[in-house]
Amino acid sequence: KAGVTQTPRYLIKTRGQQVTLSCSPISGHRSVSWYQQTPGQGLQFLFEYFSETQRNKGNFPGRFSGRQFSNSRSEMNVSTLELGDSALYLCASSPLSGTYNEQFFGPGTRLTVL
């Protein structure tokens, strides 16, 4: 079974731009969660999508948004980028919502904002 894939793996943007990151879950998984990891704040939950609906959302500003398609692939978008948005963005998929012991993580997308 193919694992969780994220594209692109690396991205460099400038302040004020917007960015879209993509996550393809494991086949058959319907839940996709997104996380932001920074040296200062650690790993923080962004949001979770299940069956194309946002199930949960972390404490992030509205500049962070996401969506899920009918094939369970998910995208997250960050608008008006700030320097502090530089981070490793991880997505994770699981068969159902909240099944963390069956949650598989992708390799992440490293975003650098200049």
Partner 1 sequence: SQELEQSPQSLIVQEGKNLTINCTSSKTLYGLYWYKQKYGEGLIFLMMLQKGGEEKSHEKITAKLDEKKQQSSLHITASQPSHAGIYLCGADGSGAQKLVFGQGTRLTINP
Residues that bind partner 1 (CB under 8 A): 4, 33, 42-45, 48, 55-59, 88, 90, 92, 98, 100-101, 103-108, 110
Minimal distance in Å, beta carbon 58 to partner 1? 6
- Measured between its terminal Cα atoms, the distance across the chain in Å is 37
Minimal distance in Å, beta carbon 7 to partner 1? 14
Candidates 25, 7, 27; CA nearest to 89 is 7
Minimal distance in Å, beta carbon 42 to partner 1? 5
Q: Contact, 13 vs 81, CB < 8 A?
A: yes
